[in-house]
Amino acid sequence: KDAEALLPERFTSPEGPVPLTVSLLKTALAEENDALHTAQADLKQRQTKNHTDCRRKKELEAQRKAQAEQRTALEAQVTAAQQASAAAQAAVQTLEARQAAEQTAQPQNIPALKAEQNELLARRKALAAQEKDLNARLLPNRRALADHRKLADQRDALDARWQWVNALASTAGGTLSSKQKIRLEAYIQMNYLDRILVHANTRLMQMTAGQYELERIGAENQRSQSGLDLGVIDHYNGTRRSVKTLSGGESFKASLALALGLSDEVQSTAGGIRLDTLFLDEGFGSLDEESLEQAIRVLSGLTEGDRLVGIISHVAALKDRIDRQVVVHKERGGGSWVEIVT
C-alpha cells in the first residue's frame, strides 16, 4: 500500500501524459517477480548440475589414474613373462642341441668308464677318510688355539700391569729415568720436614732476632738420594751455609726450634693429639746472656695454655729466671734429696 501511495496517478512523457494505473504496475511487477524466480531456479539447477559434473570429473580422473597405474603394472608383468618365455625357449633349444649331439656321438667305452668310476669312488672314499681325520685333529687344535689366545690376552694384561707396577716402583724407589732420584719414603720425609721448618723458623727467628732461618737443601743431581740435609740462611749478610757451621749456642737454638716445630706440626696434623709437656736436657750452658734471654722468652711463651716446659740444666743463671724448680741435692755420703721451689 505504501508503494501504491508513492506511485503517481499518471506518468508524463515528452509527448504528453500517459495513463498508468496501479493495477497495471502490480501486474508488471508480478510478471517480473515470476521471471526472477524462474531465473533463480534455473541458476540453482545449473549450479547443482555444475557441482555434480565437477564431482564426476574428479571421480573419472581418479579412475583414469588408477587404470594407468594398473596398465603400467600389467605391462611390467608382460615384459617379465616375455623374458621368462625367451629364457625357457633358449634352455629348451640348448637341451635339444645337447640331446641331438648325444644321439649322433660315438658309443662310449663302457669298461673304461666303469674303471674311471671305480677310481673316482676310491678317491672319494680316501678323501672322506682324510676329511674325518682332519676333523678329528681340528677340534683339539681349535681348543688349543682358544687356550693360546686366552693365555696371550692374559699375558698382555699382565704385561700392561707389570709396566704400571714397574713405573710405580721406579717412582717410589727413586730410580725412574729422566726424573729426580728421590725415594717415596724420602719424598714424604722431605714434605714433613718442610712443614716442620715453617713452624721451627717462627721460633728460630725470635731466638736469633731475625738473623737465622733454616731451609732444606735439595738433591744436587738426579743420581742423589739426598734432600733431607739442612742449611741456614743468614739474613744479616745474605748468605746460605750448612748448619754444621753454626756455633754451639746457635746449634742449640736451631735444635730447640726444630723440636718446637716438630711439636707444633704433630699437634696440627695428629687429629686432636696435644703435647702438653716438653723437657729440655742441657744445652743452655753454651748460650751467651743475650741468647739465653731470647731462649727463655720463647720457652715462656710455650707455657701459655697450660703447657708444661721442664728444663734439665746445671746453668746457675737459669735459677733466677725459672719460678718453679725441682732442685736435686747430692749428699757427700751418697744419695740425694729433692727440694721443691715455688
179 or 307, which is more confident: 307
- pTM check: above 0.75: no
pLDDT in tens, 134-168: 888 888 888 888 999 999 999 999 999 998 888 77
Asked if residue 70 is part of any domain, the answer here is no
Same domain for 316 and 259, yes or no, is yes
Total number of domains in the chain: 3
Over the stretch 1-48, which tens digit does the pLDDT of each residue have? 444 444 444 444 455 454 556 778 888 888 888 888 888 888 888 888
Stretch 223-228: mean pLDDT: 60
Looking at mean pLDDT, say which of 98-107, 180-189, 206-215, 218-227 comes out highest: 206-215
In a domain, 282, yes or no: yes
Q: Confidence band (pLDDT; 50, 70, 90) for 252?
A: confident
- Domain finish residue from 173, 200, 215: 173
- 165 vs 185, which has greater pLDDT? 165
Mark whether 133 and 189 lie in a shared domain.
no
Average pLDDT for 248-253:
82
Mark whether 194 and 324 lie in a shared domain. yes
What is the pLDDT, as a whole number, of residue 44? 84
pLDDT at 169: 77
What CATH number corresponds to the domain at position 332? Answer: 3.40.50.300
Residues 213 and 278 in one domain: yes
Does residue 41 share a domain with residue 165?
no
Over the chain, what is the mean pLDDT? 80
Query: What digits encode the pLDDT tens for the residues 87-137?
Result: 888 888 888 888 887 777 666 678 888 888 899 999 999 999 988 888 888
Residues 223 and 315 in one domain: yes
What residues make up the domain containing 31?
A: 1-10+21-47
Last residue of a domain, one of 149, 173, 197: 173
Mean pLDDT value across residues 178-184: 66
- For residues 168 and 274, membership in a common domain is answered with no
304 falls within a domain = yes
205 and 298 fall within a common domain: yes
Same domain, 202 and 330: yes
Is residue 93 in a domain?
no
Is residue 261 situated within a structural domain? yes
Rounded (10°) CA dihedral 61, 65, 71, 72: 150
Residue-level pLDDT at 84: 86
Residue 231, pLDDT > 50, answer yes
- pLDDT band at residue 57 under the 50/70/90 scheme: confident
> Is 33 part of any domain?
yes
Q: Is residue 68 part of a domain?
A: no
104: in domain: no
Task: Identify the pLDDT of residue 222.
Answer: 46
Q: Are 153 and 34 part of one and the same domain?
A: no
pLDDT of 6 reads 44
On whether both 169 and 188 belong to a single domain, the answer is no
Please tell me whether residues 201 and 321 are part of one structural domain: yes
Cβ contact 209:294 at 8 Å: yes
Say what the pLDDT of residue 10 is: 43
